[in-house]
Structure 1
Amino acid sequence: MPTKTIIATENAPSAIGTYSQAVKVDHTVYISGQIPLDPVSMEMVTDSFESQAVRVFENLKAIAEEAGGSMNDLVKVTILLTDLANFGQVNEVMARYFDQPYPARAAYAVKALPKDADIEVEAVMVVG
């Protein structure tokens, strides 16, 4: 039977609903969608799209590290955007957080995201 462990860190925003920051099952970690919430203030980062994207990837990084991995252990990311015109900036920000070979990825335009965020990213990571 697989071992299921809940991952939680104060270095990423606490869950604002009925979910965990991440769940680890054996060597696979499922990271919940992260929006640009500052983990200390729990306030949205709204300065610019770039600052929102950076906050999201910092949140993912904190959770990945708490789970015993790094951003380069992410094997799949799903990006939700309220405006696909921001896709180029997502690529620029992602390049700061990942080394090649990059993870598999999907990106979708959505009508709205929680707390009026412009970006949300979820990920799957394999560790060990």
Structure 2
Amino acid sequence: MTTIDLFNHNVPAESDFGYSQAIKSDDLVHVSGQLSLDEAGDFLHADDFAAQLKQTYANFDKVLNHYGATRNQIISQTLYVVNLRRNARATSEGNLTYFGDHRPVSTVLGVTELTFPGQVIEISFIIDTKLTA
């Protein structure tokens, strides 16, 4: 029998929209799109790509910590980027800084808009908790 482990940041959007930040089933953790939210669930850094990316990765780390995982156990990520051509270089630099030598599979999609006014980045990912690097 598979046990399910849910993780939430306990922000209003989770109950308002009806979702969890992450769900672990067996060895895999599927993580909802992370974005530039603070502890209270308030959106931060409208239209500031670098600051949003930094906060998004900080929220990644909260999920990793909950599951006792590391960045090297992230096996896949999907990035949603507003104005992708303008933000492509910053996206690449942020990714390389966050992951170092680790190379998860990655899909980057250019989108017209995201949930919050001024939101320019959202990233979902999958963790393999049994992966060793």
Is the 1:28–1:124 Cα contact (8 Å) retained in structure 2?
yes
Give the TM-score normalised by the residue count of structure 2: 0.84
Counterpart position of 1:99: 100
- The residue aligned with 1:118 is 120
Mapping of residues 39-78 of structure 1, within 5 Å: 39-40=39-40, 42-46=42-46, 48-78=48-78
Post-superposition shift, 1:66?
Answer: 0.8
Length-normalised TM-score, structure 1: 0.87
Runs (5+) with no aligned partner, structure 2: none
Structural mapping, 1:31-42, within 5 Å: 31-40=31-40, 42=42
Q: What is the rounded CA distance, in whole Å, between the counterparts of 1:21 and 1:78 in structure 2?
A: 15
Give the whole-Å Cα distance in 1 for the aligned partners of 2:82 and 2:54: 16
Residue deviations 1:76-104, cap 9 Å, x none?
A: 00000111120210111122221323100
1:73 Cα offset (Å): 1.0
The size of the alignment, in residue pairs, is: 127
RMSD: 2.0
User: Does structure 2 retain, via aligned residues, the 8 Å contact 1:9–1:66?
Assistant: no
Query: Percent of counterpart pairs with the same letter?
Result: 25
